[in-house]
Amino acid sequence: MLSVNNITKIFNKKTVNERVALENVSLQMEPGEFITIIGGNGAGKSTLLNCIAGSYLVDEGYILLDGENITFQKEHKRARYIGRLFQDPLKGTAPNMTIEENMALAYMRTAKKPFSIGISKKDRDYIRTRLESLGLGLENRMKTKVGLLSGGQRQAITLLMATMTTPKLLLLDEHTAALDPATAEKVLELTKQIVRENTITTLMITHNIASALDCGNRTLMMEQGKIILDLQGEQRGSMTVEDVLELFRQKSNREFDNDRVLLS
């Protein structure tokens, strides 16, 4: 389904500030797999997602999605079949547009529907039904500007927009990190529900090791631009946070020192 093959990404090449963000990274995903990714700052997690989404072009290697080579495809073209959420709730929506208008734009883009003046009753009913599935009462606030919503409500809407039509791949870049714990838990539960019900192939970066082990069916740990752990099956099922930290020590010969992860 997704095939990442020996990709390398270098920033500021041939300067004193040169930095290898990804080094010969390979990853194979089957349809419907839900992979979580953990790692410290600068490990390459977000860079990996950016390369898959087309925000960055790789310096070496290639990326296939459903057998199609998308290595140098433009980001806006990939956005038609790759859904994405960011850490910042302000990204992904237009704050001065209503909930209804944001949802309609996402629906028309991902469903490849022609743009038209106004929203049809059929589309409005579909949007209302999707909003009802969130259980947040937003179906009764469709005329409210998105900028007036809380961070959690905006992330829930962005999640819905990214999955209006089932994407081939969903990329979640710490999409609950900026939310308070209770709201983050609610958005994470909605994420698992939507991914499960639609069998969406998903890559999720999280700073919470416990969440990484609880969500999906496979967990990767990245360090210095490489994947150093790939946990799945029975091994992953019996893992604790302490087990993951011990494996990190064994693989990297150092302590895991990301306070944001350790204190989650």
CATH assignment at residue 259: 3.40.50.300
Same domain, 158 and 189: no
Residues 73 and 192 in one domain: yes
What pLDDT is attached to residue 207?
A: 87
Q: What is the pLDDT of residue 5?
A: 98
Please indicate, yes or no, whether residues 52 and 15 belong to a single structural domain of this protein: yes
Q: Same domain, yes or no, for 24 and 123?
A: no
Q: Tell me, yes or no, whether 61 and 185 share the same domain.
A: yes
C-beta separation of 63 from 55 below 8 A: no
**pLDDT at residue number 89:** 87
Q: 44 and 62 in one domain?
A: yes
Q: What is the pLDDT at residue 253?
A: 73
The reply to whether 77 and 174 lie within a common domain is yes
Could you give the 3-state DSSP secondary structure of residue 109? helix
CA dihedral over 87, 92, 94, 100, signed as positive or negative: negative
* CB-based contact 69:62 (threshold 8 Å): yes
Query: Among 166, 189, 214, where does a domain finish?
Result: 166
Tell whether 185 and 137 lie within a shared domain.
no
Out of 166, 201, 229, pick the residue that ends a domain.
166
Alpha-carbon distance of 70 to 67, in angstroms, equals 9
Please indicate, yes or no, whether residues 65 and 10 belong to a single structural domain of this protein.
Answer: yes
- Rounded CA-CA distance 22/45 in Å is 9
What distance in Å separates the CA atoms of residue 74 and residue 25, rounded to the nearest whole number?
A: 21
Question: Residue 100 is part of which domain span?
Answer: 90-166
Q: Are residues 174 and 264 in the same domain?
A: yes
Q: Which of 153, 145, 219 is nearest to 186 (CA)?
A: 153
Q: Do 123 and 173 reside in the same domain of the chain?
A: no
DSSP 140: G
Rounded to a whole number of angstroms, the distance between the first and last alpha carbons of the chain is 32
Q: Check whether residue 117 and residue 159 sit in a common domain.
A: yes
Decide which of 166, 196, 225 is a domain's last residue. Answer: 166
226-243: per-residue pLDDT in tens? 999 999 999 999 999 999
Per the structure, the count of domains in the chain is 2
Question: If you search the block for the tokens 């850490």, which residue do you land on?
Answer: 87
Place of tokens 């631009």: 225
Q: Where are the beta strands (DSSP E) in the chain?
A: 2-11, 19-29, 34-39, 60-65, 68-69, 82-85, 169-173, 202-205, 218-223, 226-232
Low-confidence residues of the chain, pLDDT below 50? Answer: 262-263
Token reading at 255: 């302590």
Helix/strand/coil (H, E, C) string of 22-37?
Answer: EEEEEEEECCCCEEEE
- Predicted TM-score of the model (pTM): 0.92
